[in-house]
Amino acid sequence: MKKILLTSAAIIAIPVLAIAQTSTSSAMANSSAASGASTLNAQDRTFIQKAAIAGLAEVNDGKLAENQGNASVKQIGTRMVTDHSKANAQLTTLSTQLGDPAPAATDATHQQSTASLQKLSGSAFDAKYLHEQRLAHEQAITLFKTEISDGSSQQLKTFASNTLPILEMHLSMIKSALKSTNA
């Protein structure tokens, strides 16, 4: 009789234990996914914020350049819209997966800069756009290099490493345009 009771208890306990273990495993998996942001250090969070805002500004200003710039500035503007739109989409997806979503809009400083560009045309627009792009890309290159060296997220470091050569190429294009326009 004791054997039958022990066997019956064991048969009942196995499914209960299996359910409990599954629940615990699911809770731990959900907790790990939700805590993606906790694996990010301050550098990672700063990088996401600054890179996203700057990238959005590059697209906005690039669209202005496509409409208001001379032929070479229009070409640079188109390149900025294409490349930064792609990078923005990648960063948005990645930052969301990591639990620290990128901002969806630029900040007041970038909005003011875009507004001042909107008021210009001709060579005045070209000169201001190219000068601002040079400064913005120098800052972005520094930001991306800092993420590569000081970030804690391997995914963000890989994104920064893959995007850095594009930013450096942009800076080279901008400097060449500045020389040819004597701006």
Q: Specify whether the CB–CB gap between 44 and 150 falls below 8 A.
A: no
Longest dimension (CA), the chain: 100
Encode pLDDT of 109-159 as tens digits: 999 999 999 999 999 999 999 999 999 999 999 999 999 999 999 999 999
Report the predicted TM-score, pTM, of the whole model to 2 decimal places: 0.79
* Number of domains, the chain: 2
Do both 104 and 57 map to the same domain?
yes
Domain with 159 in it: what CATH number? 1.20.1260.10
Do both 110 and 146 map to the same domain?
yes
Do both 116 and 158 map to the same domain?
yes
pLDDT over 90 for what percent of the chain?
77
More confident of the two residues 181 and 5: 181
Do both 57 and 29 map to the same domain?
no
Encode pLDDT of 37-68 as tens digits: 568 999 999 999 999 999 999 999 999 999 99
Do both 25 and 106 map to the same domain?
no
Do both 117 and 174 map to the same domain?
yes
Do both 165 and 82 map to the same domain?
yes
What is the domain extent for residue 176? Answer: 40-181
Do both 93 and 114 map to the same domain?
yes
Q: Identify the pLDDT of residue 100.
A: 96
Q: Identify the pLDDT of residue 64.
A: 98
What is the rounded distance in angstroms from the CA atom of residue 69 to the CA atom of residue 178? 13
Do both 56 and 15 map to the same domain?
no
More confident of the two residues 48 and 34: 48
Do both 76 and 160 map to the same domain?
yes
Do both 80 and 92 map to the same domain?
yes
